[in-house]
Structures are given as structure tokens and as C-alpha cells.
Amino acid sequence: MANPLPTPAEAPNILPSEKPAWLNAKTLLPIILVLGGGIALAREESNRLLASKADPETWAKLIRDYPGQPATAIALLESAAEAVEKREPRKAAGLYDQFCRDYPKHPLLSAARFAQANSLAAAGDRGVAQTLYLSIITERPANPFRTGAAVGLANVQIAENRPEAARQLLNEILTENTGSAFLPDARALLDKLPPPPTSASSAPLPVAPPVAAPAPAKASPSQPAK
């Protein structure tokens, strides 16, 4: 009688995994040293370049040839500030954006984001500027440029003919009294707004003009008075 159970297949011969030949300390250590030395050399060269001649040409070279270096962060900020002075807000916004992307942990990140929002607003990119202003205002913990961003957003709202939205925002930021250097700007902008519209419930009721009394009838000249 045939065996009903099938004969199990031969177990596959699994070879033990082997570590690649290059994955060892003797090979990796020189690579790490070379990479580390290259980074250190790039940092030294970029620092020396910035110290030798700090001008727009140097900043452009640093931005082009030494991305990610501390000296390049300064070059980006200097180039953006120069673009603002030359009234090139779109170029300035691009440089500030590059700084924020390349240096997300830089101590001047908050200032760069605020300057980027201002540059976008000046360039007419109000939608993007509003989004950035709002992200600064709602950031927690509170962004040091929160009050300045509120002033910037209020200016955009005024430009879009939304004075009541600007009034509400400015009143809120003034009520918080954050102690920011931008508080006088917020107060001055609020004072420039037209007075709020009077609601229908508080408007005085119209007064009807007085009705003149009818004049007495005159006697007819054909009939003698009695």
C-alpha cells in the first residue's frame, strides 16, 4: 500500500550572512577621517574667505561653493539684507527661505522667518505672507517676533480692505501686552484705522421733523365780519 503522506522536500541550505569586506573599522576609519577633514577644511576655507573680504561677491561665492557652513549662513543674511535695501523683496524672500531650510537650528531662525514674511508681503505675495505670519503668531512656545508678525498681518489685512479683522488682531495683541518693541507700531497702526461702523442696534432712531400748525382761516372780503 502506498504511503499517503507526501515526502517532505529537502530543507533549503541557507548560507549564513557574511559582513561585507569593506564594513570594518580598518576601512571605515579612513573614510570617516577623510570626510571629517573635508568638512573641517571647507569650514576653515569659508571662514577665511568671509574674514578676508566681506562683500556681495564673497557672499555669492560662499552661497554657491560652501553650502551649510556657518560663514554661508552669514552670507545669506547679508545678501538678503542687501536685497531689501535695493528694494528687491522677492530676491530677499528667496534668500531668507534658503537660510531657513539650510539652517533650521540657527539662533537667528526666528528673525529670518519674520524677515521672509515681510519680504513676501512687500513683493505682493500676500497669501504666502499671511500663512507665514500666522505660523509665527501661533507658534508655541511664543515666537519672539509674534507681535511684529501681528503688525505685519494687520497691514496685509488693511491692504485687502479688511480693517475690522486688522482691528481685532491689533486689539488682541495690545491686550496681551507682550512687552515687545513692536507694541508702539501696533498702537500707531490701530490709531490710523477708521472708526468702526456703528451697529444698527446702537444707532439713534430718526426723529420726525415737527409738524407746523395750520394757519387760521381769513375772512372773505365780500362778507362783513360779525
Contact indicator for 117, 146 with CB cutoff of 8 Å: no
Dihedrals phi, psi of 4, to nearest 5 degrees = -70, -20
Place of cell 415737527: 210
Counting runs of H as helices and runs of E as strands, what totals does the chain give?
9, 0
Per-residue pLDDT of the chain (226 residues; tens, 9 = 90+): 555 555 555 555 555 555 555 445 554 444 444 444 444 555 666 566 656 566 788 888 888 988 888 888 888 999 999 999 999 999 999 999 999 999 999 999 999 999 999 999 999 999 999 999 999 999 999 999 999 999 999 999 999 999 999 999 999 999 988 788 999 999 999 999 998 887 544 555 555 566 666 666 555 555 555 4
- Output the DSSP codes for 166-217: HHHHHHHHHHHT---TTHHHHHHHHHHSPPPPPPTTTSPPPPPPPPPPPPPP
Please give the DSSP secondary-structure letter assigned to residue 9.
Answer: P
What is this structure's pTM? 0.67
